[in-house]
Amino acid sequence: QMRRDFIANVSHEIRTPLTVVAGFVESLLEMDLPADERRRCLEMAQRQTATMQRLVEDLLTLATLESASQPAATTPVQVEPLLQALLADVRALSGGRHAFALRVESPGALLGTPGELDSAVRNLLTNAVRYTPDGGAITVTWKVVDGEGRLAVRDTGIGIAAEHLPRLTERFYRVDRGRSRETGGTGLGLAIVKHIAQRHGARLDVESRIGAGSTFSLRFPPSRVTLAPAAEAARPAQESAA
């Protein structure tokens, strides 16, 4: 049944943008549109194509994660540079509409598969931007508590009602289909994050309230965390946590 549902969902997700593209192509072929109208059609078709591309990429990512027979690697990934690089990317996506903050309380490394760790945090950050209205704030924190690594992405966005929380990581589950589509969502981001978390022995926690924003946290077990040698004793927190 799950397999059938999945295939039905994927087909639907592809058909929707494909229908739009087909419509625009038909208009362009059959109507003698003025140049600006033609351009508008092409731009809309381009947006739908980009959505389909993201969908296929996310499906391939999920398939790769699911077919992996080995647990995640144990390559050290320095957390602060990773978060800085991701924040630079996501700042560009926000285009100045949001304020960003990074708080690294315990410099150190995660032991994992670098590309997967990048992808998991990127998905959380992209969602924070997409579900936070202009003028909102997005804060990323990393700390180590009792050996456990805690990475959190907090936003001051639209929030999520409690009844949806248990289902968010299901493939194609969305609270608001329209908003997800408008902002280029595939409905697969959190399913990918959950898979990556599992492969690293980590847990994904979500705290949220409608209108008050959301916090998505990844908790990594001590076996996946190393503290930077200088951090253990001397170095004070870079910025106090809120």
Chain positions 194 to 223 lying near ligand ADP, rule: CB under 6 A, are: 214
Is the Cβ of residue 18 or residue 28 nearer to ligand ADP in the bound state? 18
Residue 128 interacts with ligand ADP (CB under 6 A)? yes
Q: How many residues bind ligand ADP (CB under 6 A)?
A: 21
Is the Cβ of residue 38 or residue 54 nearer to ligand ADP in the bound state? 54
Residue 190 interacts with ligand ADP (CB under 6 A)? yes
Token pair in block for residue 106: 């315990």
Contacting residue, 113, 154, 185, 195, with ligand ADP by CB under 6 A: 185
Is the Cβ of residue 74 or residue 118 nearer to ligand ADP in the bound state? 118
Q: What are phi and psi of 237, to 5 degrees?
A: -60, 140
Residue 168 interacts with ligand ADP (CB under 6 A)? yes
Residue 160 interacts with ligand ADP (CB under 6 A)? yes
Q: Are 154 and 217 in contact (CB under 8 A)?
A: no
Residue 174 interacts with ligand ADP (CB under 6 A)? yes
* Cα–Cα distance, 113 to 8 (Å, whole number): 32
> In the complex, which residues of this chain contact ligand ADP (CB under 6 A)?
127-128, 131, 155, 157-158, 160, 168, 173-176, 180, 185-191, 214
